[in-house]
Amino acid sequence: MASLKTAQKLAIAGLGFALSALLLSLAASGVDRGRLQLAVPALGAASLAFAAGLLATTARTLSRTLARVILAAREVAAGRLDRAELRLAGGGEREASRPGPAGDDLAELVEAFRTMIVTLSSPIEQLRHSGADVGGASAQMAASVKELEAAVVEQAASTNQVTATSKQIFATVQELAGTMRAVRQMASQAASLAGAGLESLNGINATMTELLEATAGISSILTAISERAAAITQVITAITNIANRTNLISLNAAIEAEKAGERAAGFSVVAVEIRRLADQTAVAALDIEKMIGEMQTAVQNGVASISHYAGRARASSATVAGITTDLTRVIEYTRQLEPHFESVNSGMQMQSRAAGQILEAMQQLAETAGRTRDSLAQFRQVADHMRAAAQVLESEVGRFAVAV
Amino acid sequence: MLLLTFQAGGARYGLDASGIIEVLPAAELRPVPRAAVYIAGLLNYRGTIAPVLDLNALLTADPARIRLSSRIVIVDFPAADGAHRPLGLLAERAIETIHCRERDFQSPGIRAREAPFSGDVLVDAQGAVQKIDVGRLLPEELQQTLFSPPAANG
């Protein structure tokens, strides 16, 4: 019943409202006044009294409902959707709980308002949640980025250390390779020197052999001289013997001549002359014998010296032969060293190359780390922006209060 | 006169050539057992055994050295019994003869009792030469020992 009355009141009020609205709208739209002036007095006279009575009753109800809607709208504007709902329901005022005489249109408006509030509340609630989520996520992201940055910095430090170590290895290997080259050169020089020494020694050895042969020749010649001297000594002994005999004969002849007296005077003279010649021969033979003796002594000394010299020459020859063998061995060993040097050298070169490659890789790694750091910085900026945006969103959404 | 000279201990001595039979080279002598040092040995001279005196040992007490110039002079020894016997005298450097006169000799003035054979002295360009008196070389007892007839041995 009450609802019917209210509906009637609302219908009448609505009609009056519609009419007044029509009039107002006509007036507002600027319709030709001349034509209207004919109708208005007729209509107005009949309806104006009715409308006046209707308006008087409905205006109050309408204004109350409208006031509720306005309040609700204000709450919505303030973002207080929960309170807007309360206002629509007439919370805070007794009059509002009663259905107004304004009719069903107004009720629909209120209903539509309510629906709108409910419909708005859900996405705002979701937005708030999402804003909180995004804020949390962006904070987490920022933290992760910081950790990542720290890790990247550590990695860069490690990379730098490795790079420095690689550089040291590279330098050491280069130095070692230089030393090896020097050692190789020295070994090669030693080998060539030993070769030259060997040639000289071979020359000395040949000369020694010649000397030994010459010594043997001199020795045999001296022996021959000694033999000749012995033969000469024999001859001289024979001559001396003959001279002695001649002396003896001349002595006996002189004695016989003396016994013979004056008759053998000439014979005596001859005997004396023969003895004189024999004596001279004996003296010459003695001189020669003496010289031969001296010569034989000299030859014997020469033979002894030559023999001594030959012994020493043989010893020297043996020493030279020993040195030659040693030098040959030295050369052989040095030649055997050569391939070892080669392998060491190639190993060093490989090490050097490997160190170079490591260095290159490290440099690439460092570059990559730098790029990663840059990207992370950018990422952090983005995350910061995102967090800021989320905060803005949260504060904006926070202005809305939603009934749960 | 003619002197055959020889040396003993660096001094010159001479033998009268008129008493010399022959000069021989110093040969191997047969030794005389337990004889005095101046008995050089026994010589087979042309089939006759002749004793040989060492003049060097007689004059200097050292035996003569056997050299080419060392010789055995065979002299005609006038024995006490009046017979002449060959006697060998071993001397060093018996290689020269000197012609001289009897009046050129001088008396040495002093003469040892143990050396009755030391004769007069001659001086020439090379120095002094003392003559050896061959007849006084052997004492009579020794002469008997050396030149004893074969009957005495038996």
Q: Would you state the pLDDT for residue A7?
A: 56
Q: List B72's β-bridge partners, or say none.
A: B24, B90
Q: Does A247 touch chain B (CB under 8 A)?
A: yes
Nearest to A255 among B4, B71, B95 (CB): B4
Structure token pair of residue A288: 């020669």
Residues of chain B contacting residue A244, judged by C-beta atoms under 8 Å apart:
25, 68-69
CB A163 within 8 A of CB A359: yes
In terms of Cβ atoms closer than 10 Å to its own Cβ (0-12, 13-18, 19+), residue A187 is middle
Structure token pair of residue A262: 């004056």
What residue in B sits closest to A243 (Cα-Cα)?
B68
Q: Would you state the pLDDT for residue B148?
A: 65
Nearest to B2 among A245, A248, A255 (CB): A255
Q: How far is CA A4 from CA A9, A90, A200, A299, B75, in A?
A: 8, 21, 147, 180, 226
Q: How far is CA A261 from CA A257, A268, B75, B98, in A?
A: 6, 10, 19, 15
| Strand, coil or helix: A134 | helix
Q: Does B16 touch chain A (CB under 8 A)?
A: no
**How close, in Å, is residue A223 to chain B by CA atoms?**
30
CB contact under 8 A, A258 and B17: yes
- The C-alpha angle with vertex A323 and arms to A317 and A325, in degrees rounded to 5, equals 105
CB contact under 8 A, A251 and B1: no
CA–CA dist B38, B88 (Å, integer): 12
CB contact under 8 A, A258 and B95: no
Give residues 271 to 290 of A whose Cβ lies within 8 Å of B. 272, 275, 279
- Residue B25's pLDDT band, with cuts at 50, 70 and 90, is very high
Nearest to A255 among B20, B24, B25 (CB): B20
Nearest to B25 among A240, A248, A258 (CB): A248
Structure token pair of residue A18: 């519609």
**How close, in Å, is residue B99 to chain A by CA atoms?**
9
pLDDT tens figures, B82-112: 888 899 999 999 999 999 999 999 998 888 8
| H or E segment and range at residue A52 | helix A33-77
pTM, two decimals, is 0.51
ipTM confidence score = 0.87
Stretch B29-57: mean pLDDT, rounded?
Answer: 92
Residues of chain B contacting residue A241, judged by C-beta atoms under 8 Å apart:
68
Nearest to B18 among A254, A259, A272 (CB): A259
Nearest to A254 among B69, B71, B97 (CB): B97
State the residue for tokens 């070389």: B137
CB contact under 8 A, A244 and B68: yes
Task: Select the residue from B1, B2, B5, B6 to test the A interface by mutation, using most A Cβ atoms within 10 A.
Answer: B2
Q: Which residue type does A69 have?
A: V
CB contact under 8 A, B1 and A258: yes
Q: Would you state the pLDDT for residue B152?
A: 42
Task: Select the residue from A248, A256, A272, A275 to test the B interface by mutation, using most B Cβ atoms within 10 A.
Answer: A248
Q: Does B100 touch chain A (CB under 8 A)?
A: no
CB A170 within 8 A of CB A352: yes
- Each of the 404 residues of chain A gets a pLDDT tens digit; together they read 455 566 566 666 666 666 665 666 566 565 555 555 655 565 666 667 777 777 777 777 778 788 888 888 888 887 788 888 788 777 544 444 444 455 677 788 888 888 888 888 888 888 888 888 888 888 888 888 888 888 888 888 888 888 888 888 888 888 888 888 888 888 888 888 888 888 888 888 888 888 888 888 888 888 888 888 888 888 888 888 888 889 999 999 999 998 888 888 888 888 888 888 888 888 888 888 888 888 888 888 888 888 888 888 888 888 888 888 888 888 888 888 888 888 888 888 888 888 888 888 888 888 888 888 888 888 888 888 888 888 888 888 887 877 76
Task: Select the residue from B6, B23, B66 to test the A interface by mutation, using most A Cβ atoms within 10 A.
Answer: B23
Residues of chain B contacting residue A258, judged by C-beta atoms under 8 Å apart:
1-2, 17-18
Q: Would you state the pLDDT for residue B50?
A: 92
CA–CA dist A293, A299 (Å, integer): 10
Nearest to B4 among A241, A244, A251 (CB): A251
